[in-house]
């Protein structure tokens, strides 16, 4: 099946620096993946019936409300959640629901002043929890020798044990945006619950790449309390942030956004917060077209089947890893071959700054990748050898502190990756030529 034509922008041709017209190869899906054409078209079509959901009487408003409820149910079904969960749409990415949870849960259980996070998190799943709690316990991901060990359950249990019941919740990524590793979040949920801590799973990098089931019927302790993701990480730009969480906990949390829609009555003296969870959490007008296109995209993903999506990506990422590890000048991060991962690989070319590699890939080969630290400074620092991080010359620091990230989407093909590997080999083989080009550009600017 050729998925490329189902997405917008996969047929883009661009001019490279050596005046060739080339097909753009998009390998930056972990930042935002490309849009699914059909869901954009449907949400465009919906605009003929556009209205605000809060209006109760006229037909278009009722239709809009029904579509939002449909999107919520589609999301719940996709993520294996039952009626004990509620879906909340917040802002335009996962950062919003993470902040909502951090603030809400810290106020809900002030006696539990500690939060447990891994040091492999995106800043959005670290800073909101950090600033709302007295104490942070970090799970390191590396052993004493600096070797990568990933999400170590023994360490998590040890830290929970030593916290004397003070951990409010464990916030963990579903899949890392640097290593691609899928965390054992169900096992972590079980441990957290044994110590009366909740669990938040940051599903930004997981939701489009592997199947998720929040509820575990056989072992309810390992069910997930909160799962968050962004529409733009699952082929839906104009992306709502999504929080799907346990109703009984959400119901106890004070709102953080106040305004129209989230109250049942207001006088100049006081107000009553709406009882219905969805009303209470949704102050103001929702991102209605974004929610509808997200519902359509998720519907599409269910038809493709997430097991097949995962298997396809496994084949591609294993192929890429095998090819890259045969090139002596390629340094792969972290220093371990991770078996359970989504389609993300981070690398550097020996003695070539990450930015130069990425520029050449873009300018000469039409390949889009991301470079630098991917909003995960502590993790990237731990992956890079100390000498590299501790360089004193400030101008060199920025050149070498960081990596190149290759990340895949449903539209990625083996041909794309073959081309990427060939391009990397050409860069290594002709690096003096490329360096000269960029020096020339610098001088002419």
For ligand PMP, the binding residue among 43, 90, 93, 309 (CB under 6 A) is 93
Return the structure tokens found at 178: 């640097």
Q: Are 142 and 148 in contact (CB under 8 A)?
A: yes
Return the structure tokens found at 311: 């298997």
Nearer to ligand PMP, 4 or 122 (CB): 122
78 closest CA partner among 297, 259, 283, 251: 297
CA angle (338, 339, 343) in 5-degree steps:
80
For residue 234, the SS3 value is coil
173 is an interface residue for ligand PMP by CB under 6 A = yes
Determine how many CB atoms are found less than 10 A away from the CB of residue 38. Answer: 16
230 is an interface residue for ligand PMP by CB under 6 A = yes
Residue number closest to ligand PMP, CB atom: 93
**Which residues in 322-436 belong to E strands, given as ranges?**
330-333, 344-349, 367-368, 370-372, 403-407
Nearer to ligand PMP, 240 or 366 (CB): 240
99 is an interface residue for ligand PMP by CB under 6 A = no
Site for ligand PMP in 373-392 (CB under 6 A): 375
| Least separation in angstroms between CB 274 and ligand PMP | 26
346 is an interface residue for ligand PMP by CB under 6 A = no
| Least separation in angstroms between CB 242 and ligand PMP | 10
345 closest CA partner among 314, 366, 375: 314
For ligand PMP, the binding residue among 74, 125, 179, 222 (CB under 6 A) is 125
**Which residues in 268-402 belong to E strands, given as ranges?**
271-273, 330-333, 344-349, 367-368, 370-372
For ligand PMP, the binding residue among 94, 189, 424, 431 (CB under 6 A) is 94
202 is an interface residue for ligand PMP by CB under 6 A = yes
43 closest CA partner among 301, 291, 298: 291
242 is an interface residue for ligand PMP by CB under 6 A = no
Site for ligand PMP in 307-326 (CB under 6 A): none
Number of residues that bind ligand PMP (CB under 6 A): 15
Nearer to ligand PMP, 344 or 424 (CB): 344
The CA distance from 233 to 354, in Å, is 24
Q: Are 313 and 343 in contact (CB under 8 A)?
A: yes
| Least separation in angstroms between CB 229 and ligand PMP | 8
> Which residues make up the interface to ligand PMP (CB under 6 A)?
30, 93-95, 122, 124-125, 173, 177, 202, 204-205, 230, 232, 375
């Amino acid at each position: 099946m050729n998925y490329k034509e189902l997405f917008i922008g996969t047929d883009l041709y661009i001019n490279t620096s050596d005046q060739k017209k080339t097909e753009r190869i998009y390998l930056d899906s972990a930042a935002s993946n490309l849009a699914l054409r059909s869901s954009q078209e449907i949400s465009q079509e919906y605009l003929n019936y556009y209205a605000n959901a809060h209006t109760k009487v006229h037909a278009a408003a009722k239709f809009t409300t029904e579509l939002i409820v449909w999107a919520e149910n589609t999301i719940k079904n996709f993520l294996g959640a039952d009626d004990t969960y509620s879906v909340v749409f917040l802002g335009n990415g996962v950062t919003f629901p993470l902040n909502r949870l951090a603030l809400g849960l810290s106020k809900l259980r002030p006696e539990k002043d500690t939060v447990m996070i891994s040091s492999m998190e995106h800043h959005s799943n670290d800073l909101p929890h950090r600033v709302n709690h007295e104490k942070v316990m970090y799970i390191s991901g590396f052993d004493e020798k600096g070797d990568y060990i990933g999400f170590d359950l023994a360490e998590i249990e040890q830290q929970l044990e030593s916290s004397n019941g003070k951990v409010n919740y464990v916030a963990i990524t579903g899949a890392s945006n640097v290593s691609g590793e899928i965390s054992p979040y169900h096992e972590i949920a079980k441990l957290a619950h044994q110590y009366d801590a909740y669990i938040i799973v940051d599903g930004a990098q997981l939701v489009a790449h592997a199947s998720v089931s929040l509820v575990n019927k056989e072992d309810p302790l390992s069910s997930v309390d909160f799962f968050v993701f962004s529409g733009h990480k699952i082929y839906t730009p104009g992306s709502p942030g999504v929080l799907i969480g346990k109703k009984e906990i959400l119901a106890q949390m004070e709102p953080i956004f106040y305004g129209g829609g989230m109250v049942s009555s207001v006088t100049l003296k006081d107000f009553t917060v709406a009882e219905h969870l969805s009303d209470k959490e949704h102050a103001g007008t929702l991102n209605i077209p974004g929610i509808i296109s997200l519902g359509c995209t998720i519907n599409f993903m269910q038809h493709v089947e997430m097991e097949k999506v995962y298997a396809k990506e496994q084949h591609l990422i294993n192929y890429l890893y095998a090819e890259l590890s045969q090139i002596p000048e390629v340094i792969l991060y972290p220093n371990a071959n991770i078996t359970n991962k989504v389609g993300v690989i981070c690398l550097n070319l020996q003695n070539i700054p990450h930015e130069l590699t990425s520029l050449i890939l873009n300018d000469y080969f039409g390949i889009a990748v991301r470079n630098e630290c991917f909003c995960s400074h502590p993790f990237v620092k731990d992956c890079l050898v100390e000498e590299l991080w501790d360089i004193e010359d400030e101008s060199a620091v920025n050149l070498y502190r960081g990596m190149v990230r290759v990340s895949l989407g449903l539209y990625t093909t083996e041909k794309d990756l073959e081309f990427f590997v060939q391009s990397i080999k050409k860069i290594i083989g002709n690096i003096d030529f490329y360096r000269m080009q960029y020096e020339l550009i610098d001088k002419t600017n």
